[in-house]
Structure 1
Amino acid sequence: MTIERIVIPVIEDAGLNSRLSEHFGRAPYFMVIEMSSEGEILKVEAIPNTSEHFGGFGRPPDRILQLNPTVLITYNMGPRALNMFQQARVTVLRANALTVREVIEAFKRGQLEELTEGCRKARSLF
């Protein structure tokens, strides 16, 4: 059985009801969802964002890569962060819903587009 490890930046720790963060790097939490190839959710865990944006160390992409994701779902991100994920072979998809539950359902149905270009408005943090 193949397991997808999906990371989604969120503004709260409310499990599948957590709302997605509009700011990828400034999300207070990263929701980690482990899902079987059959679409069964095996695990849901909120990981605090301990990057330098929250008084910790490292950049948000580095923090997420430590979680070993296969997929990252977000509204948008800057070009440098996107490039880091592409080089690490993490699939980055554009979110199209407000909650983790809704975006996971869209993912299961194949309704999320791949994010291929970073947001030029994103402030460079690197």
Structure 2
Amino acid sequence: MVEKEGIDEGEAMKAYRAVREESNQDPEVAERDEVSSALVDWVDAMLQNLEKEIDDVDAKIGAGIMMAKLTPEEMAAAAMYLKDTLGKDGVQELISNLSKDGDGKILVEDIVRLGSRAEEVVSAEAGER
């Protein structure tokens, strides 16, 4: 989220209105204030749009993190220790099988499921001995 610094919006608007009321007595100043007010409104609308866009991007990034997805590259880095037991081709096959969903991402739940199956196999083999 965007953090704001300095005077809060309410205080700034109060100060602006106070100065505007003082200058309303002079027609030339009133005309400048009208232009100034239009500019303030335009800048305010632009800032609100930017803040909304930033919040949307922040939410999208946050949602991706909450979905617990990894890129194939992240999975490859995490799976390097498997290289010795599976070999390079085995690791590539594993990554390819896990990133089948079309968006190129790997669900962490698929990795957990794979790990659970591996633990079950190891437990079953240990029980047979």
The bucket for the TM-score relative to the shorter chain is under 0.3
More helix by share: 2
**Scaled by the length of structure 1, what TM-score is found?**
0.21
Comparing both chains, which one has the higher relative contact order based on Cα–Cα distances under 8 Å and sequence gaps of 6 or more? 1
More strand by share: 1
Q: Higher Cα Rg: structure 1 or 2?
A: 2
